[in-house]
Amino acid sequence: MLIGVYSRVIDDDMRICLPKGILAHIEDEGCYVGKCLYVAVSYDRALCVFCSIEDANEFLNDKQAYDITGGSQLFETARCLIDKRGRVTLPRLMAAKVSILINTEVFVVGAGSYFEIWSALEWLQPDNHIGGVVEDIQNISALF
């Protein structure tokens, strides 16, 4: 199971170094080098990364992936290979759709059978995951 939240920086070649916890999960017979991952854009402005094309197709068929500009379903995935240093080169156009640019901070978030890559700007927004949770806790504690 893919779990955890990890901070990373996108390099000049649009690569991200995957966290060891993520790499350990996707290892195939002791080696992740050359393993193919599949990337899709989610409706909530993140990249979703899957270990198999079947998982990616299920995600798309469940209508969880949308074009962020018009709400229409996105039926595209991109293939990415893991290099010997545990890095993946992200598709530039897909990354740009979710505000992920070179030399910027991102968060890699385990989501069970897949993981998401969020721009720091999106992840830390008050109405998104972590920001919303912090705000909810503050609101609840203010009641007591």
Q: Where are the domains of the chain?
A: 5-142
How many CB atoms neighbour CB 30 within 10 A?
A: 5
User: pTM of whole model > 0.85?
Assistant: no
Tokens representing residue 96 in the block = 């740009």
Q: What is the Cα–Cα distance from 77 to 40, expressed in whole angstroms?
A: 5
- CATH code linked to domain 5-142: 3.40.1550.20
The predicted pLDDT at position 138 comes to: 52
Per-residue pLDDT of the chain (144 residues; tens, 9 = 90+): 888 999 999 999 999 999 998 998 887 656 788 889 999 988 788 999 999 888 888 877 765 555 444 554 455 789 999 999 999 999 999 999 999 999 999 999 999 889 999 999 999 887 665 544 445 545 555 555
> Which of 84, 67, 69, 25 lies closest to 49 in space, CA to CA?
25
Q: What is the Cα–Cα distance from 60 to 42, expressed in whole angstroms?
A: 9
The predicted pLDDT at position 133 comes to: 47
